[in-house]
């Protein structure tokens, strides 16, 4: 018994293996490596965000239309998040 869908999946997977290798700009790779090292060495990471939702999008739910938030990660195991309606 043969399954046509299995053949399609096998063909699709084999075609992915034959894609040409993408080239990365050495300067871009250096910037990404430096950024990665800096983030890995950081003891604290802080992200500040502002969210605006369309009026009526969360009908019936107590969701603020405008919210400011601060998320702080302190290594090795502390996470704090604070969201405030504006």
Confidence band for 4, pLDDT divided at 50, 70 and 90: low
CA distance 65 to 48: 17
pLDDT in tens, 37-70: 998 899 999 999 998 877 666 677 766 678 899 9
Q: Is the pTM of this model over 0.75?
A: no
Work out how many domains the chain is built from and give that number: 1
Tokens of 79: 């996470």
Domain that holds residue 68: 4-85
Distance CA 50, CA 70 (A): 9
């Amino acid at each position: 018994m043969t399954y046509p869908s299995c053949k399609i999946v096998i063909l699709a997977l084999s075609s992915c293996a034959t894609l040409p290798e993408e080239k990365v700009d050495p300067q871009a790779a250096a910037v990404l490596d430096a950024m990665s090292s800096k983030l890995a060495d950081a003891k604290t990471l802080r992200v500040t965000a502002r969210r605006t939702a369309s009026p009526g999008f969360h009908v019936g739910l107590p969701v603020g239309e405008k919210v400011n938030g601060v998320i702080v990660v302190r290594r090795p195991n502390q996470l704090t998040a604070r969201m405030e309606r504006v």
